[in-house]
Structure 1
């Protein structure tokens, strides 16, 4: 889930929605609702562990009369969701890199086409790793987990120790709420600010796309889905709290060109360009020859030299984004391959083909299709600076709808099919399922709204004007 990246990339939206109170209490609220969806998906996934995921679950749970229709609808919701969530990660990581460069070169403001080219570099790198080095993916996942955990601790220590712009009281960090930047009423502004936290938990069901490459999926998949929420929640708490207690002036952050304030925020907190760049890079790639040596040295630096070696922290944010891009592009390729295998995509024979790369089977054509879709959708940014929020909103809505459909079908059938699930919810099943469906329904309404009103042609429309 790459929690620090998921919370950092759309961070400006939470600031617009109200600031600290939205960020921390919204994180708690969304985690609770996301847990109901995770439990609901885990129960179904345990019984039907397949890379097809939600659209296959709809097929198995629906009546014979409607199963083809519900499966087809769900499948395309899933495809649009996995393609746009992958795009949001690769595109957002590219934007983070632009923000990092601007720390050292504040006079340089990236044009839309320069941002697009950086996005292409991130996309092609992530795809190349998944195709040509698939044997390294398990190791990359382990390094990613270590990187995320250690990076979160380093950011916590260094931000708390430096606090160059001062520290806030608990009342501010946990309770300050200013909805004025959004233009919405206070209550709705709070929910608008939930975009980053909801985005972080939006792809939990993509774990099912890896079902056919997992040992004992009936047991492992539901565990992975459910444990991702509490682990992600705790990671987010340790990432967010030090930032909220040392948060710079919100108006200054919202005025940053390009709408990505993370780089400037870290620079201001650390009191130097090196410090800011160090923390920003912490959300990047591991350049150390030895993982163990790197882990020890990084933690030692964070604990003993937070003022002098803070530049090391930049690798923590951007790196998590790169790891997330590699993982999510991999999962998207499997989802694409599974849908093509079921003959639901044009030219399915081509896109369902599995190639042998360096001795291992890889759905190369599925990768190519997923990459091409992201490449084309990324062009939207050339006509609208609101593209990233649009990508995130579409991904959250489509994936949420695809996850809610099988849960709703199960509910309408009286949960009869879940009686013999290896991961049963028991007597709590009706309540948990109902809350999950209602939450996703609210999400869809919420993320159909613009983050800021009044809107302009550029900020509202995600497509370039015809004229």
Structure 2
């Protein structure tokens, strides 16, 4: 594609953005490949399925890992298609809260948009936090291979988390113009890494190879304390976060021809991610070491010991771990960047305290919403302090992200369905006659995930094993309600709609 064609496409996209109520402030530098392979399903698979693998083992083991992943991919596709359809008509960084405003009735749209926006904010902050925090736990796990006598304290894990946050921030702020290239590099690294892991794990298998009956059918619910049926769903918790769509939507104003490219990326990410996940999970379940040994790993993070046992040496285990670590670093950069864009967009519509400052774009650093990035990261750093009181904080972060993002995605889909889908006439990405069924299924699936993400992974529940997702969710809900009463109802009028002006 030549440069002149790129410029003409971007000019049309800028004009359409003006029709949606916004001026083009960020540089459009991403195409379909960049959008599809940024930190989301297709790229975060290797990280998202291995970093919290202890929960999958508690949730039943191999059968849950394989069939739970397949089930999640199938049930997530209707939601992806529903959001792709809406995004094709309203491709802005505001995403779901903007969609709610445009789809809802004039009487209720301001309040619904406000609620949705804050759900999105909490969701993107906690999803970014869960990825970066999970990367920190990976480092702790690997140190345990070479120094098994060392057990990281919560403060040491927190300091490692701060270090990764600093690395991600450095790239996101000072190398913003290089992020599309970094995303392509991350895609190449992930594809190459998964290929290497598939071969190495399958060939070495130092603890032996399991028959298909074990790899595809072994299910042990005893570690969770729940009944077998609920244990299976508990094992899905690590997989659910992989299917966050926030990155696609939040980066819409930086994508060429977003009405076409972003919906395609959303729709394709599910099947692409499903294949990636199976390529990673199958060699693991066929060569899985003793599950009891893995669950007894120091710090509750068995990935380092798992790779060491399968590969038969510390060096081999380090090599497998290093592949996942670099993927985690790439994910941390990209998802923190996307969280800042969502924060900037909400501030642009005067819905965040000190919105004038937060919504400024630093053009000297290459069109970076730096203040929004600082706010987004600062909130995540404070939330990470929960880990000092609960070793299961990772599940809490994942749970809050799933609850908030799921609810924020379901709201515009529900409004669309209640309106008889009349707003989706002649959109670039139509669902046609399948639209009502896919929309309804998406809403029911999100309701189920909300319940699942609020539950503790094991029982009986203690203050350490408690899932604090609901506490964080209610806390942020209270903050947003108070701010609406004090300020929002006076100054927040929702996204600007030029034709109504």
Tell me, yes or no, if structure 1 residue 407 matches structure 2 residue 413: yes
How far the C-alpha of 1:386 sits from its partner, in A, is: 1.1
- Post-superposition Cα deviations, 1:29-85, rounded to whole Å, max 9, x if no partner, equal 000111111000000000000000000000000000110011000000000000000
What is the match of residue 117 of structure 2?
A: 75
- Quote the offset at 1:457 in angstroms: 1.2
Distance 2:363 2:297 in 1: 46
SS at the partner of 2:465? helix
Q: Counterpart of 1:175 in 2: which secondary structure?
A: coil
The yes-or-no answer on 1:107 pairing with 2:136 is: no
Per the TM alignment, residue 405 of structure 1 is displaced from its structure 2 partner at its CA by 0.6
Alignment check: 8 A CA contact 1:132 1:357 kept: no
Q: Which residue of 1 aligns with 2:310?
A: 269
- Cα distance in 1 for partners of 2:185, 2:142 equals 22
Query: Secondary structure at 1:278's aligned position in 2?
Result: helix
Question: Is it true that 1:423 corresponds to 2:421 in the alignment?
Answer: no
Task: Kindly state the Cα deviation for residue 357 of structure 1 after the two structures are TM-superposed.
Answer: 3.5
Q: CA deviation at 1:321?
A: 0.4
Q: Count residues with an aligned counterpart.
A: 428
Is residue 41–residue 205 contact of structure 1 (8 Å, CA) maintained in 2? Answer: no
How far off its partner does 1:461 sit? 5.7
Deviation string 1:70-127 (CA, Å, 9 cap, x unpaired) is 1000000000000000000110000001111111111111110000000000011101
RMSD between aligned alpha carbons? 1.1
Q: How does 1:35-54 map to 2 (within 5 A)?
A: 35-54=77-96
Task: Report deviation, 1:272.
Answer: 0.5
2:31 equivalent in structure 1: none
* Correspondence 1:252 to 2:293: yes
Cα deviation, 1:212-235, whole Å, max 9, x if unaligned, reads 111100000101111111111100
1:444 corresponds to which residue? 450
Correspondent of 1:213 among 234, 237, 254: 254
CA distance in 1, matches of 2:406, 2:169: 25
Among candidates 221, 234, 238, match of residue 275 of structure 2: 234
Report the CA distance between 1:205 and its aligned residue. 3.6
- The 2-side partners of 1:125 and 1:164 are apart by 35
The 1-side partners of 2:281 and 2:102 are apart by 41
Measured after TM superposition, the shift of residue 206 of structure 1 is 2.8
Q: 1:131 to 1:357 in 2, by over 3 A?
A: farther
5 Å-filtered alignment, 1:50-449, equals: 50-201=92-243, 203-282=244-323, 317-358=324-365, 360-449=366-455
CA distance in 1, matches of 2:331, 2:467: 28
Q: Which runs of 4+ in 1 moved over 3 A?
A: 461-464
Is 2:395–2:467's contact at 8 Å kept on the other side of the alignment?
no
CA contact (8 A) 1:131 1:357 kept: no
Q: 1: distance between equivalents of 2:72 and 2:424? A: 25
- Measured in 1, the distance between the counterparts of 2:467 and 2:450 equals 18
Contact residue 165 and residue 248 of structure 1 kept, 8 A: yes
CA drift of 1:419 comes to 1.7
Cross-structure match for 1:34: 76
- Does structure 2 retain, via aligned residues, the 8 Å contact 1:19–1:176? yes
Q: Which residue of 2 aligns with 1:285?
A: none
Q: Distance in 1 between matches of 2:298 and 2:112?
A: 44
Closer/same/farther in 2, CA of residues 29 and 347 from structure 1, 3 Å limit? same
Give TM-score, length-normalised by structure 2: 0.84
**Structure 2 residue runs without a partner (length 5+):** 1-39, 473-501
Residue in 2 that maps onto 1:459: 465
Provide the residue aligned with 2:9 in structure 1: none
CA drift at 1:445 = 0.6
Contact 1:17–1:182 (CA under 8 A) maintained in structure 2: yes
Give secondary structure in 2 for the equivalent of 1:349: helix
Alpha-carbon offset, residue 421 of structure 1? 1.4
Q: C-alpha offsets along residues 404-461 of structure 1, whole Å, 9 cap, x if unaligned?
A: 1100110111111012211000000011111111000000011111000001111116
- Residue segments in structure 1 that go unaligned for 5+ positions in a row: 283-316
Kept in 2, the 8 Å contact 1:254–1:261? The answer is yes
1:159-208 Cα shifts (integer Å, max 9, x gaps): 0000000000001000000001000000011011101111111x214311
Q: Distance in 2 between matches of 1:344 and 1:133?
A: 28
